[in-house]
Amino acid sequence: MKVKKLMNKEYYTNLTQKILSKHKLKITEIIREADGMSIRSYVYRTIDSDENQYVLKLFASEDVDAKRRFINEIKAIKLLNKQLPFKYRKWIPRIRWYSVKNKDPYFIYRYRKGDQLGQFVKDFGIKWGIFHDNNFPVFIEFFGVMHEVPVKMLSNNDIAESWGERTAKKEIQYYFENVKGLIPTADYDRVITFFDKYKNRAFKRRCISHRDLYPENILIKEKKSKSFTFLDWEYISVVPIGYDAAFLYLLFWREEFWKAKVFTYFYNYYESRYGKYARRDFVWSFRFSLIILAIRFLYQLETYGDKRSVDYEHAKRSYLYDLEQALKGTVVKPSNVKFYITKHDIQKVANLYDLGQVEYYQIFYASRGNTVVKVKTKDYPRHLIFRFYSQSRSTKFIKNELSILDWLSKHDIETYTVMPDKSGNLYSKITLYGNLRKVAVLTYVDGSKIRRYWANEKASRSAGHMLRRIHDFDVIHGDYSKENVLYKRNTVSGVIDFEWGRFTKSKNAKFSDLARAIALWLVDIRSKKMSDVDFMIFFIEGYFGGIPPKRHFKKLLDAVIDKIEEERDIFVTTIDLPNYRRKRASKRFENAIENVNTLKTLRNLD
């Protein structure tokens, strides 16, 4: 066997030299060598006399099927170079010379410099930090372009293989037979049941795919570049329309943001181009493909992956989680749409309110629970806020906040103005990604969170005065913190997010809201320019129009201490930090209490 391998290597070394001599090339790098088993071709980086660089790919195997795929790769590349839009033709190899007549086919294409998106057996997916808002849309659009390539153009010429029901079934059977306990036993039966029940739906629509989308087969010129190269097209196939989306979704396990963007691109691609029935077919195909590919990736992880790697366990858990979500169907009905919202979705809301075309939007990804989008439309003069409510938000909760905003804005309190929909409702309902979701449209409030150089006497008085105005209209805020008070320089320009607010005439409730507001500002160490003692005096003077009587003042400061204690208890029980960081973070609560006691001493309130 060793003698045969040596003879083969000598044969292919001589053949390589003949090919290089014919095309006047020299080898500058050995990229890959055939091993007589799974690696069936030699790949060399070469150069000509004018220093133009090329890649030589030479088939070197007795595998008949592999040879057929190699020849079909050449045919496919040549066809795609004619079919694809010009800007994407350079993303696939540009063949300069080739030969398929002899028993050892080869082709030579122009070399393109680039880094792999990753190596599956090492990285288990796409490496972190490669994509950005500027280059991801260009990258993902390539797949949409590929899905528009006529299936018959490649399948009728026997160029593209078919990744069909039988192939998929053989795959998972092979994986289950060769790795015991690959997935939980209960899930095995669920996978087989899902396969048999929904295979017809999954394969209803098909498209052309590279199919071998492992990160080592995709090059990027440099991080965040818009220049990519897709290599190794020998497995080009007709696949179900959800295949590419599922493959990429799994590869992006490190970055939830891009996973969501992969799904939304294909989801909206099929809905906008072919209608709701095509979108429905995509959803079934995506779930089906995700199940098969998650099992494949788990098999490859167990068989070839380095179990000592830090990423091994993370990747495994991600694949198992995605498998479970695909089986349940929740993968296509996300509860939180923060990363899923696109311009297409925002335009749907604008249409409900007759606001015209969306010209600009900005999603605030740091918002908690709800998804908040700043929007400018053609037919409305001001910026707007589109608030997509979390599935966990009850109707009663939403109505309460919107009613508060509506009430306060009508009484000239600087906050969101609620725009009713065509029927006069304070919010609308819209179906997004499989769930009926509530969305409100609000006018944008100018301003920003307080900055250190604004944090002075005037800013503190302004914050206290604004809270008093809100209380005077029988509303408590519930979370009057630095996060929810906006400033223009050192004057409050607006108050937002009354999610914890309510209508009340209760003096005790307003007193408690005031105490909590002071406590929240004290324990938030950001943007502090003055002492906590001075801040409290100015804030309280802003609220009351002066310092309250001693008895009332003491009662308030005692209540502030109680609220600080409550915030510390919440912090200790909900924030998971190492002990040393927990102690350091807890120090701010102790300092806040100490400063309140200092004020009590200075004012003789002990």
Q: At which residue do the structure tokens 């740091």 appear?
A: 366
Q: Taking a C-beta distance cutoff of 8 angstroms, is the pair 212, 160 a contact? A: no
Tell which residue, 441, 452, 445, has the closest CA to residue 466: 445
Out of 390, 412, 443, a domain closes at 443
- Which amino acid is residue 44, in one-letter code? Y
The rounded distance, in Å, linking the Cα atoms of 140 and 264 is 11
Question: For residue 52, how many other CB atoms are within 10 A of its CB?
Answer: 12
User: What does pTM read for this prediction?
Assistant: 0.87
The rounded distance, in Å, linking the Cα atoms of 554 and 540 is 12
Is the same domain home to 6 and 102? yes
Is the same domain home to 293 and 352? no
The residue range of the domain holding 416 is 343-443
Residue 337 lies in a domain: no
The rounded distance, in Å, linking the Cα atoms of 309 and 297 is 16
Is the same domain home to 34 and 48? yes
> Would you call 168 exposed, middle or buried from its count of C-beta atoms within 10 A (0-12, 13-18, 19+)?
buried
Residue 539 lies in a domain: yes
Half-sphere exposure at residue 23, Cβ-oriented, CA atoms within 13 angstroms: 25
Is the same domain home to 195 and 303? yes
Is the same domain home to 282 and 151? yes
Out of 443, 463, 481, a domain closes at 443
Question: For residue 70, how many other CB atoms are within 10 A of its CB?
Answer: 24
Q: Taking a C-beta distance cutoff of 8 angstroms, is the pair 581, 530 a contact? A: no
CATH of the domain at 84: 3.30.200.20
Is the same domain home to 258 and 120? yes
The tokens describing 191, both together, are 């996978």
Residue 596 lies in a domain: yes
The predicted-structure confidence for 406-417, as pLDDT tens digits, reads as follows 999 999 999 999
pLDDT of residue 196: 95
How many separate domains does the chain show? 4
pLDDT of residue 582: 63
Is the same domain home to 315 and 398? no
Residue 553 lies in a domain: yes
Is the same domain home to 240 and 373? no
Contacts 24+ apart (CB under 8 A), 212-215: 213/244, 213/247, 213/248, 213/251, 214/120, 214/251, 215/116, 215/117, 215/118, 215/119, 215/120, 215/123, 215/125, 215/126, 215/127, 215/251
pLDDT of residue 387: 94
Q: At which residue do the structure tokens 């007549």 appear?
A: 101
Question: For residue 223, how many other CB atoms are within 10 A of its CB?
Answer: 12
**Among the residues of 32-85, which ranges form H helices?**
64-83
Is the same domain home to 141 and 202? yes
The tokens describing 540, both together, are 């309280």
CATH of the domain at 575: 3.90.1200.10
Is the same domain home to 150 and 266? yes
The predicted-structure confidence for 144-168, as pLDDT tens digits, reads as follows 999 999 999 887 778 889 999 999 9
The tokens describing 288, both together, are 């089906």
Q: Taking a C-beta distance cutoff of 8 angstroms, is the pair 365, 350 a contact? A: no
> Would you call 396 exposed, middle or buried from its count of C-beta atoms within 10 A (0-12, 13-18, 19+)?
exposed
Out of 332, 355, 384, a domain closes at 332
Low-confidence ranges of the chain (pLDDT < 70): 1-7, 366-368, 574-583
Half-sphere exposure at residue 24, Cβ-oriented, CA atoms within 13 angstroms: 5
